[in-house]
Structure 1
C-alpha cells in the first residue's frame, strides 16, 4: 500500500511540475467554456466538501463525524485515480491529451465520491456530466496550416490530377478525441513539409462516408483506425498508418510527429520533390507496402546446338 501511495504521489508531483512549466499556454485555455467548465467539474467534490453551510449536512463515515474533511477511503480513491492518470499519460502525445486524461478520470472519481456520500448527489453530478458531454465540445484546432480539405467527390480528381505530386491524406472525424488531439500535429507537419511536390489533405469521414469506404478506412470507434494517414501518389496508395490486421482492427501505433517523419520518410520525399520545384522530373517513389513474393520463374532450358556430324574419313 505504501509503494502505491508513493507512486501516486510522484505522479501528482510530475503532473504539477509539467503543468507549471506549461502554465503560460495552459491559462489561455480556461478562457474557453469547455476547459473552464471541465476544471469546475473536476474539483466539484472538494468544493462541496469544503463549502461552509453545506458540508455540515453531508453524511460522513469518519469516526469523528467530520463531514467537511476527506476520510481514508476517499483519499485512497484519489490516490488510485492519480495512478491511473499516470499510466494513461505514458501514451499521451500532447499537453492537450495529458489535461484531457486528468479531466476524464477526475470526473469518474467525482461520480464515485458523490455516490458514496449520497445517492442523490451522485445522480445529480452524473446528469451534469451527461449534459456537459452533449452540449460542450472540445474546441477545434483553428491554427495555421497548409492543408486541402476534400469531399468524397473531389478527392479522387485532385489526387490523380498530377502523378508527380505525393499526397499525405488524413482520414478523420470531428467526434473523435484522437483526431482532435492530432490536428495541431498534422498542421505543423504541413507547415514544415508542404512544397510543390508534397501536399497534405484531410477528409472528414464522419461527413463523407463514401470516401472512407472507397479507401478502406473503418470509422467505427471499436476498430480504432482514426486518425488514419495514407501516403498516395497518382491515386495509388503507397502506405498507411496505422496498419490494419486481418480482423479489420488497427495495429497499435503512436501518431507522433517523430514517428510520422521517420516512417513516411518525409525528409527523403521532401528532397526528391525539390527537383519537381526546379522543373526536373522527380524519381518515382518506392512502393512502401509489403510486396508480394515473386513466383519463381522456371529456368529456360538452353538450346543445345546439335553437334556437327563428323565427315566420314
Structure 2
C-alpha cells in the first residue's frame, strides 16, 4: 500500500511539474504578446473618443477624491468624511461591476469589452451625481448627451477584402456569376454591434476570400430600400444588426441571426468560430479554390487563342491583377 501511495504521489508530483512550466509559458507568451501590441493599443486608446469616454467614466471618482473639492460634498458616512465613498455609493459601484461582468460574457472583441465598461459606467455616474447633487447630475447628463451627439466611436480602417454595395449595385453583383458564393453583411454605422463586428468580418475576408467566395457589405442604415427588400430590420429593438446573409446563384441560402415569425431575431453570437461553423467556410473555401483554378485555366486557354485575322497571341488579361485571397498567394 505504501509503495502504491508513493507511486501515486510521484505521478501527481510529475503532473504538477509538467503543468507549472506550461502555465508559466502561457503567461509569458501572453505578456510578450501584450508588450508587442502595446504601441498599437496606446495609439488606439489615445483617440479622442476613448480619451473623453475614460474621463467621463472616472468623473465621479475624481470629484469625490479631489482635495479642496470633496470637502464641500455631501456624504452619508458616519465619520463625516466626504472624501470617501459612503455605503450606498459602494453598493452602486459593486452593482455596476456585476452588470459589466455579465455583459462582457457575450463580448467578442476588446472594443466591445471597453464599450460595455464605458456605457454602464456613465449610467452609474449619472445615478451617483444625481444622488450627490441634482445640479451635478443635470450637468453630467447634458455632457453625456453632447458626447453621444458629437463624438462617434472610430470605425475600423484595417485591411480587408470586402466589396461595398450600394442600392444600385448589390443585385447586379450578386447575380453576375452564379458560380460565386457571397457572404454579405447588412450593417448600420450607428450600431455599436456592427462596429465591434467589423474587425471580425474583415479578418474572415482576409482568410477566406477568393474568386469563388466573396465578401460584401451594405449599409442599410443609408439605403433603407435594401433593408425592406432583404427583410433586415434597422430597428434597435429587432436586434437584427448586424445580419450575415449567404447567397449562392444570386439567391439567399441562409442568414444569421435567424428571424422568427414575429420578426424578432433569434439570439446568436457573432464570433469567428460560430461563423466558420454555421456557414461551412472551410468547405466553401476548398470548393472555391477548385473553381478558382478552373477559371484561371479557362482564361489562359482563351488568352492563348489567336484572334481572327491576326497571328499574334492575346496577352493574358490577368497578368497584372492582384490575387485577392492571401491563402492563394
Asked whether 1:101 is paired with 2:116, we answer yes
Alignment of 1:44-59 (within 5 A): 44-59=59-74
> Can you list the C-alpha shifts for 1:77-123, whole angstroms capped at 9, x where unaligned?
11111011111111111111111111111111111111111110111
CA distance in 1, matches of 2:153, 2:178: 38
CA distance in 2, matches of 1:73, 1:21: 40
> Can you list the C-alpha shifts for 1:248-295, whole angstroms capped at 9, x where unaligned?
0100000110000000000000111111111169xxxxxxxxxxxxxx
Q: Structure 2: 5+ residue runs without aligned partners? A: 1-29, 297-329
Asked whether 1:34 is paired with 2:49, we answer yes
> Can you list the C-alpha shifts for 1:188-238, whole angstroms capped at 9, x where unaligned?
000000001000000000111111111111111111101000100221111
Q: Tell me, what secondary structure is at the counterpart of 1:279?
A: helix
**Could you say which residue in structure 2 is the equivalent of 1:43?**
58
Asked whether 1:155 is paired with 2:132, we answer no
Alignment of 1:1-313 (within 5 A): 24=38, 25-279=40-294
CA RMSD of aligned residues (A): 1.8
Q: Tell me, what secondary structure is at the counterpart of 1:97?
A: helix
CA distance in 1, matches of 2:31, 2:91: 23
Give the number of the structure whose residues are more often helix, by fraction: 2
CA distance in 2, matches of 1:278, 1:128: 57
> Can you list the C-alpha shifts for 1:129-175, whole angstroms capped at 9, x where unaligned?
11111111000000000000001110010111100000000000000
CA distance in 2, matches of 1:76, 1:21: 36
TM-score by length of 1: 0.81
CA distance in 2, matches of 1:241, 1:265: 13
CA distance in 2, matches of 1:224, 1:273: 32
**Could you say which residue in structure 1 is the equivalent of 2:13?**
none
CA distance in 2, matches of 1:248, 1:55: 51
TM-score by length of 2: 0.77
Q: CA deviation at 1:246?
A: 0.4
Q: Tell me, what secondary structure is at the counterpart of 1:229?
A: strand
**Could you say which residue in structure 2 is the equivalent of 1:14?**
none
CA distance in 2, matches of 1:280, 1:37: 52
Q: CA deviation at 1:21?
A: 8.0
CA distance in 1, matches of 2:76, 2:34: 39
CA distance in 2, matches of 1:253, 1:127: 35
Count residues with an aligned counterpart: 264
Q: Structure 1: 5+ residue runs without aligned partners? A: 1-17, 282-313
